Amino acid sequence: MFSKEESKQLRQEFWTSFGKSYPRRWILYHTKIKGLSFKFHFDTNSALVAMDLEGSLDHRASYWERLMSLKPILLEEYLPEAIIDAFYVPEHQKERSRIYVPLQKKVSIHDKQTWRDVMSFFYDTMDLFEAFFKDYKDLIEG
């Protein structure tokens, strides 16, 4: 069991280590599409990479429809293991539409022995998400 401060230090150490091990400028929130962002998530139980659409249902629906028209391409050419959820609600957060890829093994940000696997997964998966986005940004924007 870790104290809040120890947990915070481990989290900071992981993200600093990830940035040094895989130095790259990720798109993340700089998509130039309101409410569309890419996210890394790593906690004590899991890791995932996501593309989130946030905002009102009407706003999300307009972009979601375009994304779903690209679903076969996304799944066949980029991320076959992606999970698509039009009404995703993270714990204690607002509903969003999310396309995400979870790491299919037990990991924990508190276990440094799992960090290398998570870093590699993050890099490879986000690279594919960004490639898809760059290749089809014009279609997604409408």
Residue 96 lies in a domain: yes
Domain count, the chain: 1
Residue 82 lies in a domain: yes
Residue 121: exposure state from Cβ atoms within 10 A (0-12, 13-18, ≥19): buried
Instruction: For residue 50, give its domain range.
Output: 4-21+34-141
Residue 29 lies in a domain: no
Residue 68 lies in a domain: yes
Query: According to the model, what pLDDT value does residue 1 have?
Result: 76
Q: Name the pTM for this structure.
A: 0.93
pLDDT tens for the chain, 142 residues long, are 789 999 999 999 999 999 999 999 999 999 999 999 999 999 999 999 999 999 999 999 999 999 999 999 999 999 999 999 999 998 888 999 999 999 999 999 999 999 999 999 999 999 999 999 999 999 999 8
What's the Cα-to-Cα distance from 132 to each of 15, 49, 109, 112, rounded to whole Å? 24, 14, 28, 31
Residue 27 lies in a domain: no
Question: For residue 119, what are its two tokens?
Answer: 């870093």
The DSSP secondary structure of 65-108, one letter per residue, reads HHHHHTHHHIIIII-TT-EEEEEE--TTS--EEEEEEE-SS---
Whether 83 contacts 104, CB under 8 Å: no
> Sheet of 36-42: strands edge to edge?
36-42, 47-53, 96-102, 83-88
Q: Which of 117, 93, 92, 111 is nearest to 45 (CA)?
A: 111
Residue 112 lies in a domain: yes
Residue 120 lies in a domain: yes
Residue 69 lies in a domain: yes
Query: According to the model, what pLDDT value does residue 113 have?
Result: 97
Q: Identity (one letter) of the amino acid at 75? A: L
